[in-house]
């Protein structure tokens, strides 16, 4: 193996290929010439004169439409807040704000802005009275405020609200100690 000449594989493949070509021609085969690659030119550029003409033919429709929209919003801003204008036009508050800045106008201020739920009560007086009666009954038995919260499954905030509404008090630790000594 070592030192022996490697068989010439290329010559063997070439001899087999020549033999198959000779057999093809002897069997009556003919060479066909197929069409070669044909160059297809790039699509021509649009005529620059046509582009310039179309730009001159259309006046600034985008700017005029925007100005019309700003004029409409200026009329709405005299009587509407942002929220009302959003509902009326379907535009976002950001778009309305930009139009107001561009058109140098302001929408009406929202009368409830910054007030949250001030003055609104989300409680039921009937339920509060029933809850106050249960709290008083538990307090009279000797249950602490924390135990009342756990048993009734309510928060300290609710207990303090009920105590404030109905002038309830729980005995302090000092009062409890005084009762134990007496």
Full 3-state SS string of the chain? CCCCCCCCHHHHHHHHHHHHHHHHHHCCCCCCCCCCCCCCCCCCCCCHHHHHHHHHHCCCHHHHHHHHHHHHHHHHHCCCCHHHHHHHHCCCHHHHHHHHHHHCCCCCCCCCCCCCCCCCCCCCHHHHHHHHHHHHHHHHHCCCHHHHHHHHCCCHHHHHHHHHHHCCCCCCHHHHHHHHHC
For residue 73, the enclosing domain spans 61-103
Residue 92 lies in a domain: yes
pLDDT value at residue 136:
94
Domain co-membership, 92 together with 139: no
How many domains, the chain? 2
Domain co-membership, 129 together with 174: yes
Residue 43 lies in a domain: no
Domain co-membership, 137 together with 175: yes
Residue 31 lies in a domain: no
Domain co-membership, 133 together with 97: no
Residue 113 lies in a domain: no
Of 103, 135, 165, the residue that ends a domain is 103
pLDDT value at residue 22:
92
Residue 8 lies in a domain: no
Domain co-membership, 173 together with 140: yes
Domain co-membership, 136 together with 169: yes
What does pLDDT average to in each consecutive run of 10 residues of the chain (182 residues)? 70 91 89 85 70 59 84 93 93 94 92 76 87 94 92 93 92 84 79
Residue 111 lies in a domain: no
pLDDT value at residue 94:
94
Of 103, 135, 169, the residue that ends a domain is 103
Domain co-membership, 174 together with 133: yes
Residue 34 lies in a domain: no
pLDDT value at residue 116:
75
Residue 68 lies in a domain: yes
Domain co-membership, 89 together with 135: no
Domain co-membership, 130 together with 177: yes
């Amino acid at each position: 193996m070592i030192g022996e000449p490697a068989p010439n594989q290329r010559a063997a493949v070439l001899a087999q290929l020549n033999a198959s070509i000779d057999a093809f021609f002897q069997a009556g085969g003919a060479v066909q010439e197929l069409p070669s690659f044909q160059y297809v030119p790039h699509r021509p550029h649009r005529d620059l004169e046509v582009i310039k003409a179309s730009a001159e033919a259309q006046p600034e429709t985008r700017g005029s439409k925007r100005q019309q929209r700003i004029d409409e919003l200026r009329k709405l801003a005299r009587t509407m807040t942002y929220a009302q204008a959003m509902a009326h036009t379907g535009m976002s508050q950001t778009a309305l704000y930009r139009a107001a800045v561009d058109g140098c106008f302001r929408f009406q201020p929202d009368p409830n802005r910054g007030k949250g739920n001030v003055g609104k009560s989300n409680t039921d007086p009937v339920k509060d009275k029933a809850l106050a009666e249960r709290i008083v009954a538990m307090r009279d038995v000797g249950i602490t405020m924390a135990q009342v919260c756990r048993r009734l499954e309510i928060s300290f905030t609710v207990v303090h609200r009920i105590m404030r509404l109905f002038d309830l008090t729980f005995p302090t630790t000092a009062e409890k100690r005084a009762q134990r000594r007496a």
